[in-house]
Structure 1
Amino acid sequence: MAKNTSRRGASRGGSKKQSRQVPGWVWLFTGVIGGLFVAFLVHLAQVQMEQGRTGGGDRTAVEKPQPEEKDSDGAAKDDQPKFDFYAVLPKMEVIVPKGEGDEQEASRGGGDDTAEGEKTADKPVAGRHDKRFLLQAGSFRNEKDADRRRAELILKGYQARIQPVDMDNGDTWHRVMIGPYDNINTLHRAQDKLAANGVETLPIQLKD
């Protein structure tokens, strides 16, 4: 009986030792997995660092957009119609100085204060009966902008029309013309009235 008991105890102790032992391949597999995981973390950290450097360089290279310059009315300059008064004047026309004809009107002794004076001022100046004058109210690249200006002038009671002008470089400008006027004094009064309404004009004299 004592022998049987000792054998049983020995067998139990051996079974415990065998159950506690872990196979070597398990440790090997665990080590490989751990190494791969560490290598993955290192690679991921390197990729993030490279992306951070590249992104930082791109941000420094990109310039901030400049805000649009605005005029006194708060509207962007790009939204305003583009026109040029002087670039498209044909050779047959000359610009009339603003002061021309005013001295003739002033020498009449303030004739504008009476109806008779107004009629006298509207008469052609002596020696200028064969002259004809126009007011250019803008010269636009876009025909729609020119037509919009013409409509505004018609609503104000002016006789306005659009005159296309072909340039040597192939561009076409659309001039908005008012008139004609046979009296330079009447021309200047119309110019002053338009200026008071915010419309810039250019007086033009037609050559003979």
Structure 2
Amino acid sequence: MAQKKETKSLRWLIPVALLSGFAGFLVYLDSLDPEGGERQPQTTTGPEKTPEKDRDGEAPDFKFYEMLPDSEVATPDIEAYRPDESESERNLEYILQAGSFQTREDAERQRAQVGFQGLRARISEVSVDDGGVWYRVMVGPFDSRSRMNQAVDRLVEINIQPLVRRREAEDEG
């Protein structure tokens, strides 16, 4: 019984010894020079080589340091956006066109998708010159650009790129 207990305790010693030997072998391989022979520890007794010099001892020739101050980038003169005063005085509203379809079923499907985003949409029929009818999915009207932008963000989240239309607000009265 004592011998059986002794072999169990030595059984884990063999894999540990093998792993230790393998790790030591890897450390030894790392210390070898690739050209053969052992690597010597590097000691510096003379002046250190500066990184500006390449292997031949010559300084690299960077011309862009000289060219950069002489070069000039011309930028176009662009005026800052200033809202038109007449635009702010007018009573405008914004409408988003979320799609235009040849069949009413496709337009209804798009209207439902827009409705799931919490936006009210309606379908308007438009006759074209060749006698056909297109069904437009319209969202709005919005009385401010910020509300219109919030609706645009919701539509873009579901991969709908709306067309923004602006018109004079109809007086309610």
**Which bracket does the TM-score occupy, shorter chain normalised?**
0.3 to 0.5
| Bigger fraction of residues in helix | 1
CA radius of gyration, larger in: 1
TM-score (norm 1): 0.38
